Structure 1
Amino acid sequence: MENFFSILGGMGTQATESFVRLLNHRTITHKDQDYLNYVLFNHATVPDRTAYILDETAENPLPFLLDDIAKQNLLKPNFIVLTCNTAHYFFETLQEATKIPILHMPREAAIEMSHRQNGGKVAFLGTEGSVKAGVYQRELEKVGFEVMLPKTQLQQKVNDLIYRDIKENDFLNKDLYYEILAEAIEKCGCASAVLGCTELSLMEEFATGHKYNVVDAQSILVDRTIERALSDRKKADHS
């Protein structure tokens, strides 16, 4: 297969399935050959990223991710899509391990937010690992936003939704999701929220109809992936 990209996912698997579903759904097609060429690495057994970021005595996911990058180097995709937000804690090390460009989901989300909103206060919602890593906070502050990080009680609700409900019990808890958005945006005085966890992106895909202004990082990554893949295809067709 020529002219393809690779998806480094499986963290978690349901969220990766959501990414691929959106990718295929948003690709404009009239026949089978219009869909995009890609290889999916659904590496479900990568150790928990948040557990390691919070406690470095936990199993380190980086060697597993570097092994994935090494395998993708052999395949030589045009670019790599890293679908786990928390794994962007290791982004620089992963990018140094390959000449193949890796799309940076937090950066793309921050750029998109800057197009939709001219500065102001935004809430960041993600795993405790993503909060501690500070990747989203840095990218959002670069483009002029004040970032509200969840206090303990709100973060616990986010944790419960991600781990207890979605990862452990395959339960899309819409009531808790709406409660989190209301607290993050209304009670904290933010104009909008950035979803920086793919389980929250999965929630946003199915919990439609709420009134809140949300920028879903995974959704933005889907769009950027399609744009880049179609651009690569066009270049190949004209070469």
Structure 2
Amino acid sequence: MSAGGKDPLVALLWLAAFVAGLAVIVGIVMWRGRRKGSRTIALDAALTVAGAWLFLAVVVAGAQLIQTLTSVELTLTDAPVIWTAAEPLTCTHPDDLPDAPTVTCASTSGADVTIANLSMGARLLLASAQLLTAVLGALPAALLATIAAAALRGAAFSRSVVRALYIGAGVVLVAGIGAGVLQALAVSAALGEALPAHGIEPSFFRVTIEPLIFVSALALGALGSVFQHGTALQRDTEGLV
């Protein structure tokens, strides 16, 4: 998650409120587990947090999709545009710089652009990118819930967990790449519909895919292989008993 604003204190307070809320949920689960004498408190807490995470992910994703498809104005964050009517920003390094902090160079490669009355095609592209991003955000909670539920059943190394990890690796790869490509196409289509205007025009087509997507997919695949090996060992051990 991220928290921001003009006042750093407000942003930090929002972040602290989120952490405090999470701590309260975990604390309640642990308190109830201790009262019942549960030996799986950590798993109970993980399953509860995963459930709350999935619920919030679904609510936020639904709100985003409704706004994208119905709102008159939509804002494209860090869209690649240039100001053709503006004075160029030149970088100078004078010798007689003052001792106080001084800006000597400034440039921009993007801006937040708000566009009204976008076509449904551009909205659907943007909504598709948001949906895939929401899937990526909810996936860790789904995997955590699957593993915790299997462990509570006494089958941590079950085939369902192995299958979930392998499927999760594929989902991360496809959804991560797809979200980046669809977001770039959506921004390009939206800018193409509304610009050039007011001395602003699109600058270039930009696709951003985080390297963490590939690392996460490899990590989940490797974890799935480990659990698959654990499943085989557990089956062999049960056969010896």
TM-score by length of 1: 0.23
Query: In proportion to residue count, which structure has more strand?
Result: 1
Q: Higher Cα Rg: structure 1 or 2?
A: 2
Q: TM-score, normalised by structure 2?
A: 0.23
